Structure 1
Amino acid sequence: MEMMGQQTMDLSEKKGHCEKHMHRYVMVQTSDGMLQDGFIEHVDDNMVYLAVPYCAGEIDDRAFFPGGFGYGGYPYFPRRRFYRRGFPLAGLLALSLLPFYF
């Protein structure tokens, strides 16, 4: 595990560290103890954005059912495979590379 919190890293160092692992499957830990896995999708001066795998048990806030489900029990909107989630660079404590298998 690559710990960013063991040394004091400024935002530009954290940004560079995240950019180095762009499009890789990672686990991030925030300073409040939250863990999230996903692919690093984008990094800007203040935030790192992950493409987080969608879990079927989660509620999709895009869902709109104007009369129930469509043909064959499928809803009217396409299913999302990933959703975007942003984390402030200042709050990142750790970033770990994870194995990804097809």
Structure 2
Amino acid sequence: MENLNLLKALVESGCALAVNVPTLSGNQTVIATPEQALRLLQDKYAVYGELMGLSRTDHIEWVASQGSVYCSATTQKGIAAATLPHTTSTDTVSTYSHA
């Protein structure tokens, strides 16, 4: 609690708690709250996600996949579209249904 009070006092006196969050193009500097700054010591990936508007898991996957977007649709047979080979065939595309 002592550390939190110190960080709050620093912010109230004009200091900013800047965090370099990993992104696709390197790092993005984002201002954290005192509570977020303390949580960096326990789970920095959860705080990174929070600062970027994502969950911990989503932020990790976003950076690891280099920003790739995966289709969340399923085929009429119930197969996840993201697991299918990429194709431009209209026959394959026409079998998708968005449940």
TM-score normalized with structure 1 length: 0.26
Query: By percentage of residues, which structure has more helix?
Result: 2
Q: Which has the higher contact order (CA 8 A, sep 6+)?
A: 1
Query: By percentage of residues, which structure has more strand?
Result: 1
